[in-house]
């Protein structure tokens, strides 16, 4: 959540920033709810003080005390309702974007920073599912649309990519983690995926649990409610998990193949860090993502995502898009976000330093997903980069 005290002190600045995310009205609603709550606090405090009598009360004082207690009960109920309304409004306000995030509200408004590598000149362009073995029709019979099997060499290639990615970031100081993929609602709310992304999340209603769309949720919530010592930071984790997304609102988008599916695997970086070091860490994480794609030999471009296209938690996000020959365009394969103190505040995570307690910053960055496998198949048409051979990848993928 945002720092409400700071937002009160600089209303115009915060409103202007949040307007870039389309959240000016939500911010106005928060301030109105906050003012209603704050106006009630002195009245409740006054009534509480008046109910405290010294010495033995007279009959008249007892009668007056009874009236005061009834007024206090009503005022406390009104205050509790106002507080709940303020907290609900606060949960709906996203993290304001960083000034360096460009204006705009769609992927077309992202600003390209640079490109690396040249798209391959292919005599014949084949889509990934025409090269590797993906059982889509059988998966549809088993699970429905937007699911698929990876089989044989294709599965070995995918497993090699994940293990290669884990080693890549582990050498950079990230601790590997196999996190749970089912979490409670407080983890989804705390990371900022609820309420805005709730339509994209699978729910197990009978158990009060939700399937995560990224291991970011479980990694962030691992320290929920804790006080971290400044000397412990940064904490760098690398999670590998299967992820689930309903893809609500994606009707008609990427319906062919395995590009946009309900279930996929992902290697994810997550960092808890001193706020004064988070922007340098963001650049470091993006560099690690680029290094991995360089080692794989994939052509790609790096873009700065527009403010209105950022998720609720992110202040800034850098996407890396690999070239997909079958689509003749660059598509997102990794991303890296600085969520500043937004998630830490919602999750009740604080760090203890020389200046006392304050929320740390958190960052997340995708290292690889199944899309990296698709990009490899398409750009090399079945040939496999040498760097993946030690991890069990075949020399060539055959369908």
**CA 384 to chain CA centroid, nearest Å:** 31
Same structural domain for residues 12 and 131?
Answer: no
Are residues 168 and 271 both part of a single domain?
Answer: yes
> Is 247 within any annotated ligand binding site?
yes
In this structure, are 134 and 257 located in the same domain? yes
66 assigned binding-site residue: no
46 and 134 co-located in one domain = no
135 and 75 in a single domain? The answer is no
Cβ 115 vs Cβ 27: under 8 Å: no
pLDDT tier for residue 65 given thresholds of 50, 70 and 90: confident
Tell me the pLDDT tens digit for each residue of 76-112. 999 999 999 999 999 999 999 999 999 999 999 999 9
Question: Is 395 annotated to bind ligand?
Answer: no
Indicate whether 200 and 86 sit together in one domain: no
115 is in an annotated binding site: no
Residue 379 and residue 132 in contact, taking contact as beta carbons nearer than 8 Å = no
CATH of the domain at 134: 3.30.930.10
Domain interval for residue 171: 107-391
With a threshold of 0.85, does the pTM exceed it? yes
Q: How many C-beta atoms surround the C-beta of residue 316 within 10 A?
A: 22
> pLDDT for 355-376, tens place per residue?
899 999 999 999 999 999 999 9
- For the chain, the domain total comes to 2
Instruction: State the CB neighbour count (10 A cutoff) for residue 116.
Output: 13
- Rounded to the nearest 10°, the torsion over CA 301, 304, 306, 309 is 70
Is 397 marked within a binding site?
A: no
Q: Is 216 annotated as a binding residue?
A: no
pLDDT of residue 222: 98
pLDDT tens per residue, range 264-273: 999 999 999 9
- H-only helix segments in the chain: 4-9, 11-19, 24-50, 59-91, 128-131, 136-143, 153-170, 185-190, 216-221, 278-296, 342-347, 370-380
What are phi and psi for residue 240, nearest 5 degrees? -120, 130
Residue 263 labelled as part of a binding site: yes
Q: What is the per-residue pLDDT across 209-245, written as a single tens digit (0 to 9) for each?
A: 999 999 999 999 999 999 999 999 999 999 999 999 9
Tokens of 78: 């009104």
d(C-alpha 232, C-alpha 223), whole Å: 12
């Amino acid at each position: 959540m945002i720092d409400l005290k700071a937002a009160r002190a600089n209303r115009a600045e915060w409103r202007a920033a949040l307007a870039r995310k389309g959240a000016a009205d939500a911010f106005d609603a928060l301030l109105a709810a906050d003012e209603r709550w704050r106006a009630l606090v002195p009245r409740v405090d006054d009534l509480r003080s008046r109910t405290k009598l010294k010495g033995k009360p007279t009959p008249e004082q007892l009668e007056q005390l009874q009236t005061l207690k009834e007024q206090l009960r009503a005022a406390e109920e009104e205050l509790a309702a106002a507080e709940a309304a303020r907290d609900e409004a606060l949960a709906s306000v996203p993290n304001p974007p960083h000034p360096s995030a460009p204006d705009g509200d769609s992927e077309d408004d992202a600003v390209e920073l640079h490109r690396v590598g040249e798209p391959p000149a292919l005599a014949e362009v084949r889509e990934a599912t025409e090269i590797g073995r993906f059982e889509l029709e059988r998966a549809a019979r088993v699970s429905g649309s937007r699911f698929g099997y990876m089989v044989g060499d294709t599965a070995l290639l995918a497993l090699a990519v994940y293990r290669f990615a884990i080693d890549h970031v582990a050498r950079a100081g990230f601790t590997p983690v196999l996190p749970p993929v089912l979490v409670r609602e407080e983890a989804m709310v705390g990371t900022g995926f609820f309420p805005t992304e709730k339509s994209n999340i699978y729910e197990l209603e009978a158990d009060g649990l939700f399937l995560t769309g990224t291991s970011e949720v479980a990694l962030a919530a691992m320290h929920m409610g804790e006080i971290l010592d400044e000397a412990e930071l940064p904490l760098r984790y690398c999670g590998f998990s299967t992820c689930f997304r309903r893809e609500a609102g994606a009707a008609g988008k990427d319906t062919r193949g395995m590009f946009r599916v309900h279930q996929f695997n992902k290697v994810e970086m997550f960092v808890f860090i001193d706020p004064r070091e988070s922007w340098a860490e963001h650049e470091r994480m993006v560099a690690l993502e680029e290094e991995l794609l360089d080692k794989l030999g994939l052509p790609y471009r790096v873009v700065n995502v527009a403010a209105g296209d950022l998720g609720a938690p992110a202040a800034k996000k850098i996407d890396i898009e690999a070239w997909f020959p079958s689509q003749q365009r660059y598509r997102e394969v990794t991303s890296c976000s600085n969520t500043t103190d937004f998630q830490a505040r919602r999750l009740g995570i604080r760090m203890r330093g020389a200046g006392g307690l304050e929320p740390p910053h958190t960052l997340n960055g995708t290292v690889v997903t199944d899309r990296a496998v698709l990009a490899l198949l398409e750009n090399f048409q079945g040939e496999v980069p040498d760097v993946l051979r030690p991890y069990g990848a075949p020399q060539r993928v055959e369908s």
